[in-house]
Structure 1
């Protein structure tokens, strides 16, 4: 099997940059405050990731004319962000479809309050240029890198199952993106299950997708709040406003993919072309949707899968961690993701 170096990936920063797929066990990176004018009586603490919601809202002009203060705390991935939510250090934060399952299994005090549905094309199992692997069935006996507890982790398990394989039929290395990149680049692993923008960057170097999550995983991302924040009238009102602004910002991304890609590239250090690829493949496809029965059932399937594999302790009843008060008139969670035309 030939191995090729991936020069562009030398600058890949080891962060979960997108809302579509957060995973891992890193700690908070930094905290920053954005004040919404004098006299604000409510402070909303929001967990974010590099190049995430703060950058998005700022680019879309949605951080203007707030009547509350936002305190931003930056995390490298979803699980530590949810740990902060559970500890009441953060009022709300955005993660992918799998971290809430692990947090719920750990009996963390979290509540899912909002959702988006996007394309799962960026959720992929990648193989190096020149790899002899042609289908998921070829993964039998191979080494695969993935971040434990991430959406890519579930996508890997689902892909193996669809190919008639079990996790025991392969060797899974639980690695965060930076370490997985090194292993992928050196040939220490045969494949890498990961998410955008990593997928888009690796593809720019000649690697290819063995299989993606399209039609296999639910493509959901969530905003998860601390119950204590929801019980506080002032912060609950601020959360409602924040979610509305985030919905408008997501609409703005779809209408301005190039502009958002420029901002995202600047914030994260990604090459502009990679950022634009990721925006069009997955980041910009997201549609705000309701946290409805279909979403809960889909997440329950993820929880049951991990429980059966004994990767989480006991059974999780996902609906017990959901609050639908902010659903409003949002479309169902099964609404088709946005898509860009070939010439867009």
Structure 2
């Protein structure tokens, strides 16, 4: 599965500039001298077991440019790093992308993927008296602020006739949330894989509700405006984006290998990563109007809930020049 530099040139030559996003953007062009990519360092934000793990499992880490990795606990701090210029690109979920747009962050969404939503779960202890979502009224729920779990929780509560104001939210990063959940300091935990799988196998956590019928399962590759403004970095981003798509497809057909690499990099037990991998990876999807409408609906829901001030124009942060042409 290892690709040569020909992958880069062949794919870049078809990235010509037809973009339906509001602002004009010149097409992505391959560098006049392909050797110029050797001088590029692409700073990539990641979460444990994320993009780097996917690329390693697929044998796609050998790039014609240098990769510098930074690890984050969740999407919101990764977005903040991109906004501050500390990274060039990184993968994040549906809700952090909305919060970035709401903050007018100097970033663009250059690629999209969609995963299973059964692992986007609201968990309770196996012996918890809460039997349905309505039973969460007045209960303390751990969730990462601005994470995909935050959006899934908002939608799940709304489907049950509740709002975020009807519950007691405790904003915690995943490791702290898991500790609070295990110790009974919260009544429920809204999270995602591999944390869902870990809690299920290690604590017998019960899934009160998952994302079926509520979550859209989208994730995005987010690039900083600074990186997008540089032709050499644009070329590296185009290649990286295509490699990540190929790695996602590879992991879908090699789930055992994906689980083993995931376990090695995160130090999670192999049964945990096997369960998470069995539910399927994110797979590439187009940055089309259907996706934009779904994300706009979620953004509007956050506005209506009073979490985000004002209306977010999600389409303004979509850059379709890097779409999959394979």
Q: With structure 2 as the length reference, what TM-score do the two structures score?
A: 0.85
Question: Where does structure 1 differ by over 4 angstroms across 4 or more consecutive aligned residues?
Answer: none
Q: How many residues align?
A: 291
In the alignment, structure 1 residue 93 sits paired with structure 2 residue 90: yes
RMSD: 1.7
- Out of 300, 304, 326, the residue aligned to residue 296 of structure 2 is 300
Alignment correspondent of 1:193: 190
- SS of 1:48's equivalent? strand
- Out of 41, 49, 52, the residue aligned to residue 51 of structure 1 is 49
Alignment correspondent of 1:323: 319
Alignment correspondent of 1:268: 266
Larger fraction in helix: 2
CA distance in 2, matches of 1:263, 1:38: 32
Written as runs of structure 1 = structure 2, the 5 A alignment for 1:18-33 is none
Q: CA deviation at 1:105?
A: 1.3
CA distance in 2, matches of 1:167, 1:55: 34
Question: Does the 8 Å contact 1:106/1:313 carry over to 2?
Answer: no
- Out of 150, 153, 175, the residue aligned to residue 153 of structure 1 is 150
- SS of 2:312's equivalent? coil
In the alignment, structure 1 residue 178 sits paired with structure 2 residue 175: yes
Q: CA deviation at 1:38?
A: 11
Please list every run of 5 or more consecutive structure 1 residues that lacks an aligned counterpart in the other structure. 1-36, 331-344
CA distance in 1, matches of 2:73, 2:190: 18
- SS of 1:168's equivalent? helix
- Out of 138, 141, 159, the residue aligned to residue 141 of structure 1 is 138
Written as runs of structure 1 = structure 2, the 5 A alignment for 1:1-344 is 40-64=38-62, 66-204=63-201, 205-281=203-279, 284-329=280-325
CA distance in 1, matches of 2:91, 2:37: 27
CA distance in 1, matches of 2:76, 2:244: 21
- SS of 1:304's equivalent? helix
Alignment correspondent of 1:18: none
CA distance in 2, matches of 1:79, 1:320: 19
Question: Does the 8 Å contact 1:136/1:211 carry over to 2?
Answer: yes
Tell which deviates more after alignment, 305-314 or 211-220: 305-314
Question: Does the 8 Å contact 1:116/1:222 carry over to 2?
Answer: yes
Q: CA deviation at 1:168?
A: 2.1
Q: CA deviation at 1:89?
A: 2.2
Q: Are residues 232 and 278 of structure 1, via their aligned partners in 2, closer, same or farther at CA, if it must alter by over 3 Å?
A: same
CA distance in 1, matches of 2:221, 2:153: 23
CA distance in 1, matches of 2:206, 2:78: 31
